[in-house]
Chains A and B, each alone.
Chain A
Amino acid sequence: MGRTVARMAAEILERDGDSLMLVGIHTRGIPLADRLARALREATGCEVPVGRLDITLYRDDVGPWRPAHQQPVLKKTVLPDFIDDQVIYLVDDVLFTGRTIRAALDTLADWGRPTAVRLAVLIDRGHRELPIAADVVGKALDTTRDEDVQVRLAEVDGEDGVWIGREADNGG
């Protein structure tokens, strides 16, 4: 995984230099954004600002018109600087339906007007439900819609790895 993150950092650097802000999406996008920032620092010596985004209030499945459900617990959104006129890289672990990214774009729009918003994901597993694509992909995986793809990161889960399956059996 370390190599994949380093390659993603190199792609970001090639595309936008080091003048950008990384914004991790809760939960696992946040440690990933931190790792990308570390890789960028090792490559350039520059400190890239890192923010964190909670998209819950912008989700399309939390209103009272939905069948009874448990409301997700809210988390903090912290942006280190104004996002106006900046290049923002949204960072998440898995890109699937695209609904999380849709919500993240709406969240960012309420905080300001970036020059550009790009998307970096560790895993793109396909099955989009919205016209959304990633700019930087760690690894594209062929999956069926009902498979479960889990990224585990040491900061959150105590170990690094990607698991695919109906159960969380080790698929590499």
Chain B
Amino acid sequence: MVVESATALARKDVVGISQLDAGEIQLILDTAEELLDVAKRPIKKVPTLRGSTVVNLFMEPSTRTRFSFEVAEKRLSADTLNFSASGSSVSKGETLFDTAQNLMAMAPDFIVIRHPNSGAPHRLAQEVPASIINAGDGINEHPTQALLDAFTMRQHFGSLEGLKVVVAGDIRHSRVARSNAFLLAKMGAEVRFVAPASLLPLEVEELGVITFVRLEPALEDADVVMMLRIQLERQKRVNFPSMREYFDFFALTPERLKLAADRAVVLHPGPMNRGVEIDSLVADGSQSLILEQVTNGVAIRMAILYLLAGGPSEAASDS
């Protein structure tokens, strides 16, 4: 499978990996590759988006993703407005669309949205003319995370094709797992989901992944091991007996990591629960690419902002 890079991301929004084709994914990864260099220069800023405005609308807590978007926006010289659920009119009962309508009066070019409800970015995209970028919606998708994961894998292995990728943890509540499954399938990698049966989603077969209820068999020959956090805030009831027991059966320890391929690398979207899903020796070990993921995340978000600035038309640029 040879994936040809698309020539443009001819769309208004990036709301999910499920809407993107392999060529568009490749274009985003290639563009991020060049934008990664901006961080290595004496002046870590380019004027590309000067005069444009980005609203960061975060209706759910986030540190990494919010900072990452903000750094990306600033490196491209966009003006940023930060809006979070607490301390805003949302806590006074305003609906998402009233909030959005009011924000539109400030004429933003982009809205980066994180929202607890799945599908909120998609609905917002239909309502407002600004470009919408999904920074995580409920248990649906987290496209920029999957793109930065893919970028990190490609950077390390050269290509995504044929990679065996284990995604282990709270799959049911993970938009990261879903976006990764969509993306890796489109790019020709093999995805293995591992979780206690109570934490596997019901429609998992539709994602085209292989499922395991134990970590050890899934790790065999694996090139990438991506550990996910247990999302206690999204669980209405406890789906496993105790954190201790979860660690005993599902945590990535140095011994378990030896079952994977010698060249295997470890990813984690953060925030990590050390001693729950991942042993500190693995998190800080030589096979860990967790901090590279953070660096790469900025480049991926810059790439999406840059590519969306062209707008939805296929019209060629005048050079």
Contact = CB atoms under 8 A, between A and B. Distances in A.
Interface of A: 54, 57-59, 61-77, 106, 110-112
Given A76-B37, A110-B41, A112-B42, A70 B316 contact: yes
A74 to B, nearest CB: 4
25 contacts: A58-B46, A58-B47, A59-B48, A63-B49, A64-B52, A64-B311, A65-B52, A68-B310, A69-B311, A69-B313, A69-B315, A69-B316, A69-B317, A70-B310, A70-B316, A71-B310, A73-B7, A73-B31, A74-B31, A76-B34, A76-B37, A77-B37, A106-B47, A110-B41, A111-B43
Interface residues of B, number: 39
A59 to B, nearest CB: 8
A34 to B, nearest CB: 21
B73 interface: no
Interface in B46-74: 46-52
A44 B29 CA distance: 43
Contact of A74 (B35, B47, B317): B35
Contacts of A110: 41-43, 45-46
B109 interface: yes
Contacts of A61: 317-318
B286 interface: no
Contacts, number: 91
A64 B319 contact: no
A57 B47 contact: yes
A67 B311 contact: yes
Contacts of A75: 34
Q: Which 6 pairs from chain A and chain B are nearest by CB?
A: A68-B313, A68-B311, A74-B34, A71-B310, A57-B46, A110-B43
Given A57-B48, A58-B46, 16 more contacts: A54-B34, A57-B47, A61-B317, A62-B310, A63-B48, A65-B52, A66-B311, A67-B311, A67-B315, A68-B312, A68-B315, A70-B314, A71-B8, A71-B310, A74-B31, A110-B43
A145 to B, nearest CB: 14
Contacts of A69: 310-311, 313, 315-318
A61 B51 CA distance: 13
A159 to B, nearest CB: 22
B307 interface: yes
Interface of B: 7-10, 30-31, 34-35, 37-38, 41-43, 45-52, 76, 109-110, 131, 306-319
A40 B7 CA distance: 38
A71 B310 CA distance: 5
Contacts of A68: 310-313, 315
Nearest to B108: A64
Given A63-B52, A111-B42, A70 B10 contact: yes
B49 to A, nearest CB: 6
A63 B309 contact: yes
A71 B309 contact: yes
Contacts of A63: 48-52, 309
A70 B6 CA distance: 11
A58 B110 CA distance: 20
Contacts of B38: 57
A83 to B, nearest CB: 10
A143 to B, nearest CB: 17
A68 B31 CA distance: 19
Contacts of B316: 69-70
Contacts of B110: 64
Nearest to B307: A71
Contacts of A54: 34
Given A70-B7, A70-B310, A70-B315, A64 B109 contact: yes
